[in-house]
């Protein structure tokens, strides 16, 4: 249990200092330079103060604040302390009340650890008090705090799903888990089983889904809360609960991460739940094709030609390029059955994006400058990093097949672009944006303080901020 309140706490404190602060008055003067994330725990008059460096004043961002707080609470945890005041007075003048959200994310994500199957796993209890907020802003801060807790819990929900072992999160179990969560926050959930998907002609989805004894599920989460607008945004998330590669079997070394191949689905679910919990005025539908990609008697093979819900015929060149197949049908479903006006899809789609951008930045493909601008603005609030890749005519040729309409593999280069362009073939020329989070959804070695080994919850905050366009409040988003 982590309890966070606005208030003060005298016994222990986390205090943030800028590098360019005059250090002469500080007791840590000689050894502490307040470089970003530098920490210094000090017992003073019987109470602990954990000093955390913020680096240079002008360089403070939402993510830096989150990381500084995460660093502070981890230091506290190392010292076996379970309560502290978190002094935000250095951040408020620079960033306003957005530091409340950063602090909550830093606390909750910084202390997150996934170990539910360990006999010795226990949940520590913490109490934190955010202070240093001027009296006049305290009521608004209270509101920010509540919303930030909901957002952090949604990121944690996504992390838990991605960290869950494939045998404990099969497509039907994932559907059950999301349905249960949807009921708690007023989101309408509809689960389509393989028979319903068959009746809709979703054969690209079923081609992958039928490769396992654990049946596929199409999970639909509807959050329609803006009666003034008839526009629905579809958030389509890849939900491959385990990706062995199928007959194009993955190597032993690349097998370990296969349970995390539903991180796109987890991200859209997390975002929808956060929007609902915070009662954001928007219309969004999450569509998650959930299935396994395995070897069985029914598995598809390289060289097969399959149909799809859109009617387009697809040549299979590689059974490990399964994500784009299920997303193709999910995008068609979102447009035809849910009436989406614009489509965002998010997926752990290609190893190539890791080669291009590493583990900190997701790859983006879009044919809509507007959507790119909206996403960039959302990412500035969330602190996540996205980078747009180009769509040039010669790339568009890469997904064309000689014997069918499209093929599920490009050439041996620019794999992230060809994968995205395959999905675009199914977006029916609606505004479309594609996020490849194969590098950012999972970290074996955490890059940022607010991450822990394993799932990162990538995408949740940015998708939330993308749809939270009315969340502006005194210049800051909540």
User: How many Cβ atoms are within 10 Å of 101's Cβ, its own excluded?
Assistant: 26
- Which of ligand BES, Zn ion, none binds 409 (CB below 5-8 Å, type-dependent)? ligand BES
Pick from 194, 261, 329, 465 the residue near Zn ion by CB under 5 A. 261
- Which of Zn ion, ligand BES, none binds 350 (CB below 5-8 Å, type-dependent)? ligand BES
The answer to whether the annotation marks 243 as part of a ligand binding site is yes
- Which of Zn ion, ligand BES, none binds 351 (CB below 5-8 Å, type-dependent)? ligand BES
Pairing of strands 406-407, 472-473: unpaired
Rank residues 267 and 274 by Cβ distance to ligand BES and give the closer one: 267
Among candidates 29, 54, 52, 26, which has minimal Cα distance to 40? 52
- Which of Zn ion, ligand BES, none binds 237 (CB below 5-8 Å, type-dependent)? none
CA-CA distances (angstroms) from residue 185 to 150, 161, 238? 11, 18, 22
**Using the rule CB under 6 A, is 345 a contact of ligand BES?**
no
What is the C-alpha to C-alpha distance for residues 216 and 42, in angstroms, rounded to an integer? Answer: 55
DSSP state of 390: P
Pick from 97, 133, 148, 321 the residue near ligand BES by CB under 6 A. 321
Give helix 263-277 / helix 460-467 axis angle, nearest 10°: 40
Residues marked as catalytic: 250, 324
Rank residues 38 and 322 by Cβ distance to Zn ion and give the closer one: 322
What is the C-alpha to C-alpha distance for residues 350 and 262, in angstroms, rounded to an integer? Answer: 13
Rank residues 55 and 264 by Cβ distance to Zn ion and give the closer one: 264
360-384 per-residue burial string, b: 16 or more CB within 10 A, e: under 16: ebbbbbbbeeebbebbeebbebbbb
CA angle 415, 286, 247 (to 5 degrees): 40
The answer to whether the annotation marks 373 as part of a ligand binding site is no
**Using the rule CB under 6 A, is 351 a contact of ligand BES?**
yes
Site string for ligand BES, 223-262 (x = CB under 6 A): --------------------x-------------x---x-
* Contacts to Zn ion from residues 289-348, by CB under 5 A: 320, 322-323
Site string for ligand BES, 352-391 (x = CB under 6 A): x---------------------------------------
In 368-410, which residue ranges form alpha helices assigned H by DSSP?
369-382, 393-396
Q: How many residues in the shown chain lie near Zn ion by CB under 5 A?
A: 6
* Contacts to ligand BES from residues 406-425, by CB under 6 A: 409, 415
Pick from 160, 322, 374, 449 the residue near ligand BES by CB under 6 A. 322
- Which of Zn ion, ligand BES, none binds 257 (CB below 5-8 Å, type-dependent)? ligand BES
| 364 in Cβ contact with 371 (< 8 Å) | no
Is 30 buried (19+), middle (13-18) or exposed (0-12) by CB count in 10 A? exposed
User: How many Cβ atoms are within 10 Å of 52's Cβ, its own excluded?
Assistant: 28
User: How many Cβ atoms are within 10 Å of 394's Cβ, its own excluded?
Assistant: 7
Rank residues 79 and 255 by Cβ distance to Zn ion and give the closer one: 255
Pick from 61, 77, 188, 318 the residue near ligand BES by CB under 6 A. 318
* Contacts to Zn ion from residues 222-241, by CB under 5 A: 240
Q: Which helix (H) or strand (E) holds 283?
A: strand 283-293
Among candidates 432, 416, 448, 256, which has minimal Cα distance to 348? 416
Q: Name the residues that contact ligand BES, by CB under 6 A.
A: 243, 257, 261, 318, 320-323, 348-352, 409, 415, 438
Q: Name the residues that contact Zn ion, by CB under 5 A.
A: 240, 243, 261, 320, 322-323
- The annotation places the binding site for Mn(2+) at 238, 243, 261, 320, 322
């Amino acid at each position: 249990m982590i309890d966070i309140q606005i208030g003060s706490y005298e016994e222990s404190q986390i205090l943030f200092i800028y590098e360019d602060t005059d250090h002469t008055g500080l007791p840590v003067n000689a050894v502490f330079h307040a470089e970003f994330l530098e920490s210094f725990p000090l017992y003073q008059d019987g109470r602990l103060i954990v000093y955390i460096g913020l680096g240079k004043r002008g360089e403070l961002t939402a993510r830096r604040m989150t990381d500084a707080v995460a660093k502070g609470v981890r230091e506290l945890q190392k010292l076996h302390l379970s309560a502290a005041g978190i002094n935000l007075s250095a951040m408020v003048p620079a960033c306003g009340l957005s530091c409340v959200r950063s602090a909550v994310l830093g606390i909750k994500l910084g202390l997150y650890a996934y170990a539910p199957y360990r006999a010795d796993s226990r949940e520590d209890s913490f109490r934190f008090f955010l202070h240093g907020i001027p009296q006049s802003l305290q009521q608004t801060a209270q509101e920010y705090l509540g919303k930030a807790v909901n957002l952090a819990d949604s990121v944690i929900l996504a992390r838990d799903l991605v960290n869950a072992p494939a045998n404990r999160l099969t497509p039907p179990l994932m559907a059950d888990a999301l349905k249960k969560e949807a009921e708690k926050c007023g989101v309408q959930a509809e689960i389509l089983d393989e028979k319903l998907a068959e009746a809709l002609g979703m054969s690209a989805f079923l081609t992958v889904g039928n490769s396992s004894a654990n049946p596929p599920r199409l999970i639909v989460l509807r959050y329609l809360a803006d009666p003034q607008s008839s526009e629905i945004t579809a958030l389509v998330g890849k939900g491959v609960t385990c990706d062995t590669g199928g007959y194009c079997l993955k190597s032993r070394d690349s097998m370990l991460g296969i349970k995390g191949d539903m991180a796109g689905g987890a991200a859209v679910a997390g975002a929808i739940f956060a929007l609902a919990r915070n009662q954001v005025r928007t219309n969004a539908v999450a569509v998650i094709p959930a299935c396994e990609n395995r070897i069985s008697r029914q598995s598809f093979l390289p060289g097969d030609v399959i149909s799809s819900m859109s009617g387009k015929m697809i040549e299979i060149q590689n059974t490990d390029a399964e994500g784009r197949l299920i997303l193709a049908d999910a995008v068609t479903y979102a447009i035809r059955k849910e009436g989406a006006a614009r489509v965002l899809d998010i997926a752990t789609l290609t190893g190539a994006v890791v080669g291009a951008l590493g583990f900190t930045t997701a790859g983006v493909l879009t044919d809509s400058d507007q959507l790119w601008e909206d996403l960039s603005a959302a990412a500035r609030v969330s602190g996540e990093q996205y980078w747009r890749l180009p769509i040039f005519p010669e790339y568009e040729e890469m997904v064309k097949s000689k014997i069918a309409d499209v093929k599920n593999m490009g050439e041996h280069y620019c794999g992230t672009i060809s994968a995205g362009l395959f999905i675009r073939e199914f977006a029916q020329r609606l505004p479309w944006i594609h996020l490849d989070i194969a590098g950012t959804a999972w970290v074996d070695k955490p890059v940022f303080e607010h991450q822990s080994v394993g799932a990162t919850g990538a995408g949740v905050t940015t998708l939330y901020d993308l749809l939270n366009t009315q969340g502006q409040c005194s210049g800051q988003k909540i």
